Amino acid sequence: MPFDFDQIIDRRATNAYKWDVGADELPMWVADMDFATAPAIVNAIARRLEQGAFGYNTVPESFRESIIRWWRTRHQYTMEKEWILYCTGVVPAISSIVRKMTEIGDDVVVLAPVYNIFYNSILNNDRKVSASGLRYEDGNYAIDFADLEEKLARSTVSLFIFCNPHNPIGKVWDRQTLERVAELCIKHDVLVVSDEIHCDLTHIGHKYTPFASVSEAIAERTITCVAPTKTFNIAGLQTAAIVIPNKEIRARVDRGINTDEVAEPNSFAIQAAEAAFDEGEGWLEELREYLEQNRKLLVGSLKRLVPEVHVVEAEATYLAWIDCAAITDDTQELCAFIRERTGLYLSEGNIFGGNGSRFVRWNYACPKALLADGIRRFGEGVALYRKEKCR
């Protein structure tokens, strides 16, 4: 059945984090889509509401079975039931893992620029960030393996937080790259947390490879974090899973998430996740097609209106990573200026580390009418910025 992704939902004054903005502002920053949730998920929640009681909840085997079926059929990767732990979210999982699997003062490796909350999960727990900068050449990114190995080899490093696919650059790491990363982590005895929350948001014609599927050896030192929340836009329902083949590591992580009280589902978390994985594939396929058209609209419009900027080629996510270095190397100032003058709210790239200060991140997961409005505002904002700041 067709789904209406052109429908504009008024999310103002609903306590929506993304839309907690001024009356004439248009938020296209945080990774939160502006589409109606898949009907299968809404119906599952409605059935739960009809029960009329919302006490403590358990995690049924059906939750694990849904995840296993989805990854086996969609990603050709087979998990075992005992590998899967429920958690309230990928970020709570990562923060708990940092606390449980490393020591205060340890270095934790990331590839920068990267999802900014990784830094919070490290620094807020009194660990140190060891960032290996991605190489940026000819408008595209690649891993600097010499630098990554230098970081992983340090005696103070025991954990690497990996992003597969990578946010904010939208990179789907190919199998050869994953194999090289795995070899280095095995060589230097480093545990890997692989955040794979964007794995189902690959662009048409691209396919993601689960990091733990590369070899049995790397699977034994990999903790994979997955969730339906980005794919189906249900982050507010707080549902995710941690997948750990290694029994000893799994026991420690299980103890950690229970100590941190992030291992118990709310009254809608299980139902929403099962509905997404069991009945949501048709909705997802139409979403991917819609996002493909949105990206083409954004890239084509920017080439025409603001040809100085470069949208980095991507294979996944609904987040455009836009190089604005031809305009400014301070996109924090640029984003603030555009928001003040036009109301368009984008993410400044400096928060993601690495060479992010020359980039903005643009969430284009919205009805086309809103995207067109955002494109218009961006063009006007850049024109004003050049006139007033680039003299």
Q: What mean pLDDT comes out for the span 144-158?
A: 98
Separation of alpha carbons 71 and 41, rounded Å: 19
296, 169: one domain? no
Residue 379 has pLDDT above 60, yes or no: yes
Instruction: Name the token pair of 142.
Output: 């690649």
CA 63, chain centre distance (Å):
22
Instruction: Name the token pair of 290.
Output: 């819609």
226, 357: one domain? no
Looking at 246, 263, 279, the residue that finishes a domain is 279
Q: What mean pLDDT comes out for the span 183-197?
A: 98
Of 91, 45, 83, 57, nearest to 265 (Cα)?
A: 57
Question: What integer best gives the mean pLDDT of the chain?
Answer: 97
For residue 132, give the amino acid letter: S
Cβ atoms 122, 129 nearer than 8 A: yes
pLDDT at 2: 80
H, E, C per residue of 118-158: HHHHHHCCCCEEEEEECEEECCEEECCHHHHHHHHCCCCEE
Instruction: Name the token pair of 208.
Output: 């993601």
User: Domain for residue 339, yes or no?
Assistant: yes
Query: Which residue segment(s) compose the domain that 337 sits in?
Result: 26-39+281-385
pTM beyond 0.95: the answer is: yes
Residue 132 has pLDDT above 80, yes or no: yes
pLDDT at 374: 98
220, 354: one domain? no
User: Hey, is 43 helix, strand or coil?
Assistant: helix
User: Hey, is 90 helix, strand or coil?
Assistant: helix
186, 253: one domain? yes
What's the CATH number where 131 sits? 3.40.640.10
User: Domain for residue 210, yes or no?
Assistant: yes
User: How far, CA to CA in Å, does 132 sit from each of 106, 109, 143, 250, 279?
Assistant: 16, 7, 8, 27, 39
Summarize pLDDT for 306-322 with one digit per residue, the tens.
Answer: 999 999 999 999 999 99
pLDDT at 391: 54
Residue 1 has pLDDT above 60, yes or no: no
Strand segments, DSSP code E, in 76-221 are 84-87, 107-112, 128-133, 135-137, 140-142, 157-163, 191-195
User: Domain for residue 376, yes or no?
Assistant: yes
180, 275: one domain? yes
Looking at 262, 279, 296, the residue that finishes a domain is 279
197, 140: one domain? yes
Separation of alpha carbons 17 and 116, rounded Å: 17
Strand segments, DSSP code E, in 178-280 are 191-195, 222-226, 240-243
Q: How many percent of the chain have pLDDT more than 70?
A: 99
By CB atoms closer than 10 A (0-12, 13-18, 19+), residue 354 is buried
What's the CATH number where 295 sits? 3.90.1150.10
Of 55, 15, 61, 92, nearest to 261 (Cα)?
A: 92
Q: What mean pLDDT comes out for the span 62-74?
A: 98
Q: What mean pLDDT comes out for the span 191-200?
A: 98
User: Domain for residue 47, yes or no?
Assistant: no
Cβ atoms 363, 319 nearer than 8 A: yes
Q: What mean pLDDT comes out for the span 96-109?
A: 98
Cβ atoms 98, 109 nearer than 8 A: no
Bridge partner residues of 159 (DSSP): 108, 191
Summarize pLDDT for 328-350 with one digit per residue, the tens.
Answer: 999 999 999 999 999 999 999 99
- Into how many domains does the chain fold? 2
pLDDT at 34: 98
Q: Which positions ≥6 away from 229 have C-beta within 8 Å? A: 89, 90, 197, 235, 237, 238, 239, 240
Q: What mean pLDDT comes out for the span 100-121?
A: 98
Looking at 237, 255, 279, the residue that finishes a domain is 279
Residue 102 has pLDDT above 60, yes or no: yes
CA 268, chain centre distance (Å):
22
Residue 222 has pLDDT above 60, yes or no: yes
Of 129, 18, 114, 35, nearest to 321 (Cα)?
A: 114
Separation of alpha carbons 350 and 127, rounded Å: 21
105, 251: one domain? yes
Measured at the CA of 220, the angle between CA 215 and CA 222, to 5 degrees, comes to 90
User: Domain for residue 70, yes or no?
Assistant: yes
